[in-house]
Structure 1
Amino acid sequence: MPVHGSASDYDEPTEPSQRRLSGALMRVNDVGEICAQALYEAQAATTVDPVLESEFRAAAREEGDHLAWTRERLRELGARPSLLNPLWYAGSFAIGLL
């Protein structure tokens, strides 16, 4: 699992336009974590192999850790998660069911 630092570990954007851009880019990262979590959860729900199910559930938990970090970073940047997250989750879950 990647190790993520706190905001103090980075050169923080000082200009408002830099903060907005950083927040927008982190929002994209956050959506990626939502989608990955949904894919793993759907695959865990549909597999008949108990070993694979366990692996998928572990991967989903790890994505949950990544999601917590992206949410923290969004807060640090004064940004918000995507309003479309429920849609992204549903679409990714559906793809994971295939």
Structure 2
Amino acid sequence: MPSCSPQQASKAEENGSNSFMHSMVPQLEWQMETTQSLVDSYVAIVNKTVWDLMVGLTPKTIMHLMINNNKEFIFSELLANLYLHGDKNMLMEESAEQAQRS
């Protein structure tokens, strides 16, 4: 069995660990790329969600509230006042302009 000095043993260990690290480099690079891709996707999803909540949803919410308020007004106050103060037969008559179109 050949004997080797501590320095040679140390160099052999370094060479072995270097070859081990060299074989691990592609796997580590792949893991880093995968992690980076997942983080980028997550950040994009979060940004879109925040945008939808802050910018995209606000006009929709405003329109929804305006339409619902108008609908409530029409059903509760406008129709009641029309029927209360107007002649129901007159309300159902066709206008002269509409009659000419027909």
Fold similarity call, TM over 0.5: no
Structure of higher CA gyration radius? 2
Q: TM-score, normalised by structure 2?
A: 0.29
TM-score, L = length of structure 1: 0.30
Relative to its length, the structure with more helix (as a share) is 2
